[in-house]
Amino acid sequence: MFLAKLFREVLEALSPFPKEVPIHYENLARFILEWSVSSKISFLQSKAQLKLAEVLGLRNQLKDAITYVEAVIKEGRAIDDKHLLVEAHLLETKLQFDMENLPKAKSALTACRANSNSVFCSTLLIAEIETTAGMIHIFENDYKIAYSYFYEAFEMFHQNKKSKRALENFQYIVLTKIMSDLDDEAENLFKGRFGLIYGELGFSPIMRQILKANKNKSLVMLEKILKEHGKTIGENQIINSQTNLLYENLLEKNILKLTKPYSKVQLAYLSLKVGVHVSRVEKKISEMILDEKLRGTLDQGIGNLILFRDDQLDPMYSHSLQILYNMEAVVEALFEKSKKLRAK
């Protein structure tokens, strides 16, 4: 039992992981798992499987990681260990999210919450659940709900002096405000008491620059940020995906604003104004036309965008159409009545 206790402490000491998880972390987790299986110590076996799954997930071996988590879930259900199920479903949620399988991630999160409601969970574990829920909602562009989850998690981490995790959630809170076009509220976050603590750490200075670019609706500023800090931004899946989405949204808004006064406009002119290569502008306009966000057509031979005027329909047309529908209903009713009379 002494070895079992020692190995459990070793597993707990493996977290938090570095950015690039070395192979010896995986080897150590596998060794403890094999020892626990041979010694028939089930509680240590489940812990080792979860830790190995976590390591494999960070090493992008997601399918193997899911296999170990499913084994723990099966064991947890067999012995009705709610706390083990909470941890297993939470890890499953994160792995499915990394695989971009949102339906399964949401299903796993629901199972995690259901089990957490029937057992005591530490504040930090609840904070992890809230953060994971926020990540799913921000990925679905549901920024208002994502903000509430991230803020709850942020307060828990901050109160428990987990500054690294609190910082991560602070950055996500700012990001939700930027993506919601609530730039003034995002600025207030930096000016507030938490902003004084976390506003100059980690990604926060970059987030401040992104906020400025969004407020100015400047693609040039945002593109410069992406070029200078692309590697750093790319390390965070959420910030990276949302920053790319912000770039697309800004490009779309700029194109709509510039084309509004025209019936025909050159792509080269739009490219010059937005500060983006003409091929990128052409591709974006094609997408906007297909999505019916822009009414027009591209004349690629001379590099022009021809815009269609949004004609206002005379209300008489809709009234006339309604009269025809009503007349059709009357004719059908009379036809049915005549059939009944003939039958008599």
**Residues 288-300: tens digit of each pLDDT:** 888 878 888 888 7
pLDDT in tens, 53-62: 888 887 788 8
Query: In degrees rounded to 5, what are phi and psi of residue 222?
Result: -65, -40
Q: How confident is the model at residue 15 (pLDDT cuts 50, 70, 90)?
A: low
Q: Band the pLDDT of 146: cuts 50, 70, 90.
A: very high
pLDDT mean over 245-274: 85
**DSSP letters for 293-323:** SS-EEEETTTTEEEEPP-PPPPHHHHHHHHH
* 183-191 and 204-215 helices, crossing angle to 10°: 150
What pLDDT was estimated at residue 319? 77
Evaluate if residue 17 carries a pLDDT over 60: no
Residue 105: per-residue pLDDT = 92
Average pLDDT, integer, range 60-79: 86
Least confident residue range of 33-42, 273-282, 305-314: 305-314
Per-residue pLDDT averaged across 16-28, rounded? 62
Tokens 């969004």 belong to 214
**In the 8-state DSSP scheme, what is residue 122?**
-
Say whether pLDDT at 316 is over 90: no
- What pLDDT band is residue 8 in, cutting at 50, 70 and 90? low
Of the given ranges (22-26, 203-207, 284-288, 339-343), which has the lowest mean pLDDT?
A: 22-26
Contact (Cβ atoms closer than 8 angstroms) between residue 86 and residue 115? yes
Average pLDDT, the chain: 83
Mean pLDDT is lowest, of 111-125, 140-154, 179-193, 264-278, for 264-278
* 172: phi then psi, degrees, rounded to nearest 5: -70, -35
User: For residue 44, what pLDDT is reported?
Assistant: 73
Q: What is the DSSP string of 76-117?
A: HHHHT-HHHHHHHHHHHHHHHHHTT-HHHHHHHHHHHHHHHT
Q: What is the pLDDT of residue 178?
A: 92
